[in-house]
């Protein structure tokens, strides 16, 4: 039930970000709804109708590759997003929520336009602030949908299929796929649009990783030391963490060396690194970023 609640929340947020922030500024932050925004700007097509028509074939592919259970949640998301989008299109229209200056009587060369009550209205845009806010809303929306075990359709399905086989960060994959789609805004004729769209996607990708993986940042340390007991005692007793002892052979002299493998959060990593000079000034340390740590003491292993 919680997963389906997340689907509703994420789908509603996605529609808000698209109709109130993305479309009025003629942005296209990737995905089928990015293309739908371009079609809306060029020919006036409704975003919801264009989006669901493009989602159908991608949804079929995603269901086949990612499984029927996953496909069911994605079907719900793909239905909810155009429903919420259609409601906002009908009630709110395509008016911007963020603007700067007089909505009326602005010079054409400094403003964007939209239709309100059948009349063309000009407003002075605040492109950067709108891009930042849109990226935050999009990132939270898609991240929440991912946490529910679904996608928002479109390029998200492509990203999750690639993630299944490569384990590349979902945020990174969304950034790559959607950046290519954002270039279609050049058709509208303003070179700023793909630039702002890519900035939006970059912000979105970081927020997605934050929502999906959490705020915890982990580091993996490989420590080659001759003071094995001192370093081990500090990790076990002072940091109250575990680790693994690995035995290897030095490449130059061919002597047996012992190495500690340990994964820590950022705070404990800083403590251990700052105390290593006291424990063993000649220690050799390799520190690596760990995007995801699963198992006892960290994030629970997934049940599915």
Angle CA 31–34–36, to nearest 5: 110
- Token match 């200056």: residue? 101
Q: What is residue 109's predicted lDDT score, i.e. its pLDDT?
A: 46
Top-tier CATH class for 218-290 = alpha beta
Whether the CB-CB separation of 127 and 103 falls below 8 Å is answered with no
The 10 Å Cβ neighbour count of residue 97 is 13
| Contact of 179 with 28, CB cutoff 8 Å | no
* pTM, full prediction: 0.72
304 residues of the chain, pLDDT tens digit each: 888 999 999 999 999 999 999 999 999 988 899 989 999 988 889 999 999 998 888 888 877 887 775 568 878 888 999 999 999 999 998 888 887 655 545 554 456 666 656 666 666 778 899 999 999 999 999 899 888 877 777 777 777 788 888 877 776 787 787 778 888 888 887 888 999 999 998 898 889 888 877 766 788 999 998 899 999 999 999 888 889 999 888 888 888 888 999 988 877 888 898 889 889 998 999 998 876 777 776 677 766 5
* 203 neighbors 132 (Cβ within 8 angstroms): yes
Backbone angles phi, psi at 254, to 5 degrees: 75, 15
Closest CA to 32 of 24, 22, 164: 22
Give pLDDT, residue 60.
83
Asked if residues 221 and 269 have their Cβ atoms less than 8 Å apart, the reply is yes
What pLDDT is attached to residue 108? 46
Q: How many degrees, rounded to 5, is the angle at CA 185 between CA 179 and CA 191?
A: 95
Residue indicated by tokens 């340990």: 262
Q: How far is Cα 272 from Cα 172, in angstroms, rounded to an integer?
A: 30
Domain boundaries, the chain: 2-213, 218-290
Is the separation of the CB atoms in 122 and 113 below 8 Å? yes
């Amino acid at each position: 039930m919680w997963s389906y609640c997340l689907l509703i929340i994420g789908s509603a947020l996605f529609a808000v970000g698209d109709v109130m922030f993305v479309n009025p500024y003629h942005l296209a932050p990737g995905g089928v709804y990015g293309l739908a925004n371009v079609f809306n700007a060029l020919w006036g097509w409704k975003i919801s109708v264009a989006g669901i028509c493009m989602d159908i074939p991608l949804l079929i592919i995603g269901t086949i590759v990612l499984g029927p259970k996953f496909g069911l949640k994605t079907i719900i998301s793909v239905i909810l997003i155009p429903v919420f989008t259609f409601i906002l299109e009908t009630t709110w229209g395509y008016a911007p929520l963020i603007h700067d200056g007089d909505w009326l009587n602005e010079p054409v060369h400094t403003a964007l336009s939209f239709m309100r009550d059948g009349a063309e209205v000009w407003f002075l845009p605040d492109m950067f602030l709108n891009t930042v806010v849109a990226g935050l809303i999009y990132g939270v929306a898609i991240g929440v949908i991912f946490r529910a075990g679904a996608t928002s359709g479109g390029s998200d399905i492509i990203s999750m299929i690639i993630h299944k086989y490569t384990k590349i960060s979902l945020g990174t994959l969304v950034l790559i796929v959607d950046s290519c789609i954002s270039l279609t805004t050049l058709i509208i004729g303003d070179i700023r649009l793909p630039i702002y769209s890519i900035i939006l996607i970059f912000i979105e990708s970081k927020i997605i990783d934050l929502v999906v993986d959490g705020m915890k940042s982990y580091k993996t340390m490989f420590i080659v030391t001759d003071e094995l007991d001192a370093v081990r005692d500090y990790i076990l007793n002072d940091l109250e963490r575990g680790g693994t002892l690995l035995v290897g052979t030095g490449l130059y002299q061919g002597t047996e060396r012992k190495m500690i493998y340990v994964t820590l959060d950022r705070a404990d990593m800083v403590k251990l690194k700052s105390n290593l000079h006291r424990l063993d000034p000649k220690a050799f340390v390799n520190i690596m970023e760990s995007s995801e740590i699963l198992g006892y003491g960290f994030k629970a292993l997934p049940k599915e």
